[in-house]
Amino acid sequence: MTKHDEIQTIKSFVAGLPTASYLRAALEPFVPEFEQGVYSDIIPSLRESWNARIEAQKEAAEARRAIDALRIEQRRLQDEVSSQIRRLERANDSLREISSTIDIANRAADRAASAARSLLS
Protein backbone atom coordinates (compact mmCIF):
# COMPACT_ATOMS: atom_id res chain seq x y z
CA MET A 1 0.00 0.00 0.00
CA THR A 2 1.42 3.42 -0.98
CA LYS A 3 1.35 6.54 1.14
CA HIS A 4 -1.32 7.95 -1.15
CA ASP A 5 -3.39 4.75 -0.73
CA GLU A 6 -3.11 4.96 3.06
CA ILE A 7 -4.18 8.58 3.06
CA GLN A 8 -7.10 7.89 0.74
CA THR A 9 -8.14 4.95 2.94
CA ILE A 10 -8.35 7.08 6.08
CA LYS A 11 -10.05 9.93 4.21
CA SER A 12 -12.61 7.55 2.72
CA PHE A 13 -13.20 5.87 6.08
CA VAL A 14 -13.78 9.14 7.91
CA ALA A 15 -15.89 10.60 5.08
CA GLY A 16 -18.02 7.44 5.11
CA LEU A 17 -18.94 7.85 8.78
CA PRO A 18 -22.27 9.51 9.58
CA THR A 19 -21.85 13.27 9.99
CA ALA A 20 -23.46 13.21 13.42
CA SER A 21 -21.28 10.38 14.75
CA TYR A 22 -18.84 10.74 17.62
CA LEU A 23 -16.23 8.75 15.72
CA ARG A 24 -16.29 11.12 12.73
CA ALA A 25 -16.18 14.17 15.00
CA ALA A 26 -13.20 12.66 16.84
CA LEU A 27 -11.22 11.56 13.77
CA GLU A 28 -11.94 14.30 11.24
CA PRO A 29 -9.68 16.94 12.83
CA PHE A 30 -6.74 14.51 12.69
CA VAL A 31 -6.97 13.61 8.99
CA PRO A 32 -4.84 16.56 7.76
CA GLU A 33 -2.29 15.88 10.48
CA PHE A 34 -2.24 12.18 9.57
CA GLU A 35 -1.78 13.07 5.89
CA GLN A 36 1.10 15.40 6.68
CA GLY A 37 2.70 12.79 8.92
CA VAL A 38 2.51 10.06 6.32
CA TYR A 39 4.03 12.25 3.62
CA SER A 40 6.76 13.30 6.07
CA ASP A 41 7.43 9.68 7.07
CA ILE A 42 6.49 10.48 10.66
CA ILE A 43 4.14 8.01 12.22
CA PRO A 44 1.32 10.16 13.52
CA SER A 45 0.40 9.70 17.15
CA LEU A 46 -3.23 10.42 17.84
CA ARG A 47 -2.51 10.47 21.57
CA GLU A 48 0.12 13.19 21.18
CA SER A 49 -2.14 15.09 18.80
CA TRP A 50 -5.05 14.75 21.19
CA ASN A 51 -2.95 15.97 24.12
CA ALA A 52 -1.66 18.87 22.05
CA ARG A 53 -5.23 19.79 21.07
CA ILE A 54 -6.39 19.59 24.69
CA GLU A 55 -3.49 21.82 25.74
CA ALA A 56 -4.26 24.27 22.93
CA GLN A 57 -7.90 24.37 24.02
CA LYS A 58 -6.84 25.09 27.60
CA GLU A 59 -4.52 27.86 26.43
CA ALA A 60 -7.30 29.30 24.25
CA ALA A 61 -9.69 29.27 27.21
CA GLU A 62 -7.08 31.02 29.37
CA ALA A 63 -6.52 33.57 26.62
CA ARG A 64 -10.28 34.19 26.37
CA ARG A 65 -10.45 34.71 30.14
CA ALA A 66 -7.50 37.11 29.96
CA ILE A 67 -9.15 38.99 27.10
CA ASP A 68 -12.40 39.23 29.05
CA ALA A 69 -10.52 40.55 32.08
CA LEU A 70 -8.70 43.08 29.90
CA ARG A 71 -11.98 44.23 28.36
CA ILE A 72 -13.45 44.75 31.82
CA GLU A 73 -10.34 46.70 32.84
CA GLN A 74 -10.52 48.71 29.61
CA ARG A 75 -14.16 49.66 30.31
CA ARG A 76 -13.22 50.63 33.87
CA LEU A 77 -10.35 52.79 32.63
CA GLN A 78 -12.55 54.36 29.95
CA ASP A 79 -15.12 55.24 32.62
CA GLU A 80 -12.38 56.68 34.81
CA VAL A 81 -10.96 58.73 31.94
CA SER A 82 -14.46 59.99 31.06
CA SER A 83 -14.96 60.98 34.68
CA GLN A 84 -11.62 62.82 34.73
CA ILE A 85 -12.51 64.60 31.48
CA ARG A 86 -15.82 65.74 32.98
CA ARG A 87 -13.95 67.04 36.07
CA LEU A 88 -11.46 68.88 33.87
CA GLU A 89 -14.27 70.40 31.83
CA ARG A 90 -15.95 71.60 35.04
CA ALA A 91 -12.62 73.00 36.27
CA ASN A 92 -12.12 74.72 32.91
CA ASP A 93 -15.61 76.24 33.18
CA SER A 94 -14.77 77.44 36.71
CA LEU A 95 -11.51 78.98 35.49
CA ARG A 96 -13.37 80.82 32.72
CA GLU A 97 -15.84 82.14 35.30
CA ILE A 98 -12.97 83.22 37.58
CA SER A 99 -11.20 84.88 34.66
CA SER A 100 -14.41 86.69 33.71
CA THR A 101 -14.90 87.79 37.31
CA ILE A 102 -11.30 89.06 37.46
CA ASP A 103 -11.84 91.00 34.22
CA ILE A 104 -15.01 92.56 35.64
CA ALA A 105 -13.19 93.39 38.90
CA ASN A 106 -10.27 94.92 36.97
CA ARG A 107 -12.62 97.09 34.93
CA ALA A 108 -14.43 98.16 38.11
CA ALA A 109 -11.07 98.93 39.77
CA ASP A 110 -10.03 100.96 36.72
CA ARG A 111 -13.30 102.92 36.86
CA ALA A 112 -12.90 103.47 40.62
CA ALA A 113 -9.29 104.66 40.11
CA SER A 114 -10.41 106.97 37.34
CA ALA A 115 -13.21 108.36 39.52
CA ALA A 116 -10.78 108.84 42.41
CA ARG A 117 -8.34 110.69 40.15
CA SER A 118 -11.20 112.90 38.95
CA LEU A 119 -12.18 113.70 42.53
CA LEU A 120 -8.60 114.48 43.52
CA SER A 121 -7.99 116.78 40.58
- Model confidence pLDDT, tens digit, residues 20-67: 999 999 889 889 888 888 888 877 677 777 788 889 999 999 999 999
Rounded mean pLDDT of 97-119? 94
10 burial level (CB within 10 Å; 0-12, 13-18, 19+)? middle
The pLDDT of residue 44 = 66
Domain boundaries, the chain: 1-44
CA distance linking residue 96 with residue 102, whole number of Å = 10
In whole numbers, what is the pLDDT of the chain averaged over residues? 92
Which H helix or E strand runs over 47?
Answer: helix 46-120
Residue 86's pLDDT band (cuts 50, 70, 90): very high
